[in-house]
Amino acid sequence: MMQAPHMHALNQCISDLETRAKNYETDVDVLDDELRDLFNQELKRALEKLLVAVPEQDESTIRDCAHTLLGIGGVAGAPEISVLGEELSQSAKTHQWTRCTALVHALAEWENSRTLSASGSMKIPTQSPRLQGRILVVDDEEANRVYLKKILEECGAEVFTAENGERALELVPELRPDLALVDVVMPGIQGYEVCEQIIHSPEMGQTSVIMVTAKSAPADVEMAFTKGAFDYIRKPFHSRELLARVRNALTLKNQTDALTLWKSKMSRELETAGKVQSKLFDSTPDFGAQYDCKICYRPSQHIGGDMFDMLHLADGRCLTYLADVAGHGVGSALISTLIKGLAQEIVSGTKIPELHEIGNELHHRFRKCVEDPELYATMLLILWEPGGSAMSCLSCGHPPPLAFSGDHQYLPEHIPATGGMPIGLMPPELGKPFLEEDVIHFEMPPSGTLYLFTDGITEAKTPQGEECGEEHLLRSIRLSMDGSPEMTLDLLQEQGFKLNADDCTLMLIRFLSEPKLLAYGEIPMRNEEVHSLSTKIFDLLRAQDWTEEDAGMVQLLLIEHGANIVNHGNPPPNSTLFYRLHLEGHHCCLVLKDRGISWDPSHWQSEDPATRDLFAESGRGLDLISEISATREYFRRDHQNCFLYRIDKNLRERLNL
């Protein structure tokens, strides 16, 4: 500790010196040999500069030196020097040069008469907290850096130092400290800017910041928090306060890191669960002989509570369903998986129950597995026969589907909004929830389309609170009738509707019939059969007023595609090639499915055809196929390759032939 120096000159210059000095006293005996030497060096350097700067009335240099004195006095056990630094800075700021001269002379007299003795080692108060973490101390005064490093290391922290803001911004990404103690007033980049850059940088944002300064005005404290600081410490340092604030910052940082790690782990697990669920609820398009089914499923999280399926029954009919479990997330996802399994069990036999009986059996089995009455699911089941127009529909508390004619006209009264209660909602003691009268029977118009949806879509809202409802959904459907459900939901998002508040599913079923449906069937997987089919396709298109050249291009595409499959696709023995040809406006759609090996559609996007192996997997004729087809879609579903080619009727004009 400091032995009593001669205070006469300082007391003459600063009448309330002793009172003000108490504000800069520390509660730790820190003056070891290293700090004493640093104090002597800094004091001598500052005094030499002041003896030159004061006669020259160099305000900037005087205030820089005053800042040094203010910072090192309390740390070195000489709080009166901090008071002198404060007084000198204010005098230079107001251009009181005579007073500046008197203060400097008093400092010189004090420097000549003071005696500082080192204690040999730092004495930390008993019961000081143990610190675990990496800390960066940023201060332009070396004495302050050494002081903080010593006291923090004594309590167990790993401490690094930076002499200015520029160096701190270099070290933070490299060291990734848990906490940075940043001085406010420094040459170059000021502490507030350092704080702001650390907090808002993706590379540095993991570091918390405590601002350190002698300033304590409310505006200064507010500025620190505005820039993102975790806390604010005023010089001189009081060890208990300093260590308590540092401990709190490190504790919160460790808790935040643990929470972030847990969230990351949960996110990975949910992502994995979502991938598994996506296999159970396959949204890959399904192109049948007389229908198309396309689905867009967007869970609000990695996994969701919407479920859907198209089950091909033993009697040749199809059971299509869409359901929405109450809530969303993990619980809803498990319930949806349960219902999918139950539905498959119920219709797996050769004798298919009536539609209302399917609903009742689902409800009964669900209630046996799940007793909580708050867990339930709305559901829409549609039973239909491919190639037919008769439909049976059971709504279990679910919105009815939207029906459109073959020329894309909405049919608002085609399907009544009737039905029963959600699956699992009705108490078992009340009996069966669904009656035969609850089933709706209707006829689909030729080449008509059904849209099934969950209420996550219609209940979606804009930031202004406007609800989507059926009106906006219908408008987006009309704008994307020739596209996909994905396009419909994209249009809604473009209008500002937030579709991530709940799980959203939109299912499209397009029923194909004459005169748009020209042909479908299967042929043996042989080149001569492919050539025969290509001739049949040519004749069908010619009968639809396609020119010989355009119909010939479609024929050529089929031959090239078939050669790929037969010669390079490794189809199983005795397998077949499925085909379907139908008209859509001014182009035809050719669907081809096979059970060969999976294709890599990226071959179509090859920038350098010269580098392509034409005899590799799926390689032959792709340039020609790409030229002929306006668009190409490829899917892998149920161990089959599925290709959809769209070819313009005026192909010769597009190709400039």
Burial profile 567-586: b = 16 or more Cβ within 10 angstroms, e = fewer? ebbebeeeebbbbbbbbeee
354-386 residue pLDDT tens: 999 999 999 999 999 988 888 899 999 999 998
User: For the CA atoms of 628, 632, 638, 640, what is the dihedral angle to 10 degrees?
Assistant: 30
Residue 358, pLDDT score: 95
Q: Which pLDDT band holds residue 1 (cuts at 50, 70, 90)?
A: very low
Distance CA 300, CA 302 (A): 7
Ramachandran bin of 166, using left for φ above 0, alpha for ψ from -120 to 50, beta for the remaining angles: alpha
Whole-model pTM over 0.85: no
Q: Assign residue 20 the CATH number of its domain.
A: 1.20.120
Q: Which pLDDT band holds residue 657 (cuts at 50, 70, 90)?
A: low
393-411 residue pLDDT tens: 999 999 999 999 988 899 9
Give 465-526 as a DSSP string. Answer: --B-HHHHHHHHHHHTTTS-HHHHHHHHHHTT-BTTSS-EEEEEEEE--TTTEEEEEEEES-
Helix (H) or strand (E) run with residue 359 in it = helix 355-369
Q: Assign residue 331 the CATH number of its domain.
A: 3.60.40.10
Same domain for 523 and 617, yes or no, is: yes
Distance CA 479, CA 565 (A): 36
**Is 273 part of any domain?**
no
Query: What is the dihedral sign for C-alpha 637, 557, 538, 517?
Result: positive
Distances in Å between the Cα of 180 and the Cα atoms of 196, 204, 229, 575 are 12, 11, 10, 69
Distance CA 562, CA 525 (A): 8
User: CA geometry: angle at 34 spanning 31 and 37, to 5°?
Assistant: 90
Residue 196: pLDDT over 90 = yes
98-119 residue pLDDT tens: 999 999 988 888 888 765 555 5
Same domain for 147 and 240, yes or no, is: yes
Q: β-pairing, 231-234 with 179-183? A: unpaired
Residue 589, pLDDT score: 95
Same domain for 456 and 524, yes or no, is: no
Residue 3, pLDDT score: 40
Supply 200's token pair: 């808002």
**Is 2 part of any domain?**
no
Supply 37's token pair: 């030497």
Picking from 51, 84, 113, the residue at the C-terminal end of a domain is 113
Contact 315, 536 (CB under 8 A): no
Residues in a beta bridge with 378: 324
528-553 residue pLDDT tens: 999 999 999 999 999 999 999 999 99
**Is 495 part of any domain?**
yes
Distance CA 71, CA 43 (A): 11
Tell me: cis bond preceding 399? Omega within 30 of 0 counts: no
**Is 120 part of any domain?**
no
420-473 residue pLDDT tens: 899 999 988 888 999 999 999 999 999 999 999 999 999 999 999 999 999 999
Mean pLDDT of 322-343: 86
Q: What is the SS3 assignment for 255?
A: helix
Residue 388, pLDDT score: 87
Same domain for 174 and 204, yes or no, is: yes
Same domain for 85 and 213, yes or no, is: no
Same domain for 151 and 52, yes or no, is: no
Residue 269: pLDDT over 60 = yes
The amino acid that residue 2 corresponds to is: M
Higher pLDDT, 5 or 349: 349
Same domain for 303 and 452, yes or no, is: yes
Residue 614, pLDDT score: 42
Contact 328, 305 (CB under 8 A): yes
Give 37-80 as a DSSP string. Answer: HHHHHHHHHHHHHHHHHTTTT-HHHHHHHHHHHHHHHHHTT-HH
**Is 269 part of any domain?**
no
Same domain for 485 and 529, yes or no, is: no
What total number of domains does the chain contain? Answer: 4
Contact 460, 472 (CB under 8 A): no
Tell me: cis bond preceding 515? Omega within 30 of 0 counts: yes
Distances in Å between the Cα of 620 and the Cα atoms of 135, 537, 573, 611 are 63, 21, 21, 13
Task: Give the range among 180-189, 232-241, 243-252 with minimum mean pLDDT.
Answer: 232-241
Contact 616, 554 (CB under 8 A): no
Mean pLDDT of 490-507: 94
Q: Which pLDDT band holds residue 333 (cuts at 50, 70, 90)?
A: confident
Residue 32, pLDDT score: 67
556-612 residue pLDDT tens: 999 999 998 998 889 999 999 999 999 988 899 999 999 999 987 665 554 455 555
Q: Which pLDDT band holds residue 86 (cuts at 50, 70, 90)?
A: confident
Half-sphere exposure (Cβ direction) of 260: Cα atoms closer than 13 Å: 7
Contact 449, 508 (CB under 8 A): yes
Q: Assign residue 223 the CATH number of its domain.
A: 3.40.50.2300
Mean pLDDT of 288-297: 94
Q: Which pLDDT band holds residue 126 (cuts at 50, 70, 90)?
A: low
The amino acid that residue 518 corresponds to is: L
**Is 271 part of any domain?**
no
Same domain for 499 and 586, yes or no, is: no
Residue 615: pLDDT over 50 = no
The mean pLDDT of the chain is: 86
Give 407-457 as a DSSP string. Answer: TS-B-TTSS----BPPBTTS-GGG--S--GGG-EEEEPPTT-EEEEE-HHH
Distance CA 343, CA 379 (A): 11
Residue 622, pLDDT score: 78
Same domain for 505 and 521, yes or no, is: no
Cα R_g (the chain), whole angstroms: 40
Same domain for 85 and 158, yes or no, is: no
Picking from 59, 79, 113, the residue at the C-terminal end of a domain is 113
340-355 residue pLDDT tens: 999 999 998 878 899 9
**Is 382 part of any domain?**
yes
Same domain for 186 and 252, yes or no, is: yes
The 8 Å CB, 24+ separation contacts for 218-224 are 220/184, 223/192, 224/184, 224/192, 224/195
The gap from C-alpha 169 to its chain's centroid, in whole angstroms, comes to 27
Among the residues of 201-354, which ranges form H helices?
218-226, 239-280, 330-346
66-85 residue pLDDT tens: 888 887 777 777 888 888 88
Residue 618, pLDDT score: 46
Residue 6: pLDDT over 70 = no
Mean pLDDT of 517-522: 96
Residue 66, pLDDT score: 86
Q: Which pLDDT band holds residue 25 (cuts at 50, 70, 90)?
A: confident
* Other CB atoms within 10 A of residue 312 CB: 14
Give residue 88's domain range: 8-113
Picking from 511, 540, 557, the residue at the C-terminal end of a domain is 511
Distance CA 144, CA 182 (A): 11
Residue 95, pLDDT score: 93
Closest C-alpha to 115, from 194, 6, 211, 213: 6
Residue 573, pLDDT score: 92
**Is 109 part of any domain?**
yes
